[in-house]
Structure 1
C-alpha cells in the first residue's frame, strides 16, 4: 500500500461563499495541471466544526514527492483564504509544518 496525504481544517463557523469558491478554484487548478495517478476523496464522516477534510492516495512512484509539493502549494493558497481555521496536514504519520514566517506549508521539514 502506498502513502496517503490527509488534510483538514476546523473552526466554529462554516465556510463562507468566497472561501468555498477559493477552495473549488484551487481544486480545479490542481486537477487541470496533470493526470496524476492519485485519487482524492471527501471525508464523509466529518467531526463537528470540520470545514474542509480530504485525503488522497499518493502515487507509488517518484511522483509522490511532486504530488506532496503541489498539494502543499494548493493548501497554502487555501489556508491564506481561510486563516482563522486550525489546520492539520499529514503524509501518513508525518505532519507537514506550517511556516509562520513564509506563511506556507513546508513539506521539506
Structure 2
C-alpha cells in the first residue's frame, strides 16, 4: 500500500502570468535540493479540478529512511507555493490526514 501527499490550491480566478512564473520558479529552484533523485518529488498536475489553480501529489518512498526527508522537502516546496499564491484556498493532506498550516512555519507534521 502506498501513501501520497496531495496538495491543491483553488480560487475562482485563473493564475496570472506573474503567478504562473512564480509557481515555475518555486518548482525549478526547489528541485536541485531534493534529497533523492530516484524518488518522486513535487509533482504538479497539468489539469485539475475546475477551480484548481495548482494541484499535485507526491508518492512517498518505500524506503522508510527516505520518507521524512522527502516529506520535509515537499512540504517546504508547497509552503513556498502557498506563499506565492496567498489568496488561494489550500488543502494539503497525507492520504486522509490533513497537514496543518502555521503562518510562520508553513506546512508541518505535528509531533
Using structure 2 for the length normalisation, give the TM-score: 0.84
CA deviation string 1:51-77 (max 9, x = no partner): 011011111122111111111111111
Write out the 4+ residue segments of structure 1 that deviate beyond 6 Å after TM superposition. none
Q: Which position in structure 1 is the counterpart of 2:52?
A: 50
- 1:103 positional shift: 5.6
Matched-pair contact (CA < 8 Å) for 1:4–1:58: yes
- 1:47 positional shift: 1.9
Please list every run of 5 or more consecutive structure 1 residues that lacks an aligned counterpart in the other structure.
Answer: none
**Matched residues, number:** 107
Question: How does 1:37-76 map onto structure 2 within 5 Å?
Answer: 37-38=39-40, 40=43, 42=45, 44=47, 46-61=48-63, 62-76=65-79
Please list every run of 5 or more consecutive structure 2 residues that lacks an aligned counterpart in the other structure.
Answer: none
Helix, strand or coil for the counterpart of 1:70? Answer: helix
Q: Which has the higher strand share?
A: 1
Query: What is the CA RMSD across the aligned residues, in angstroms?
Result: 1.8
Using structure 1 for the length normalisation, give the TM-score: 0.85
Helix, strand or coil for the counterpart of 1:42? Answer: coil
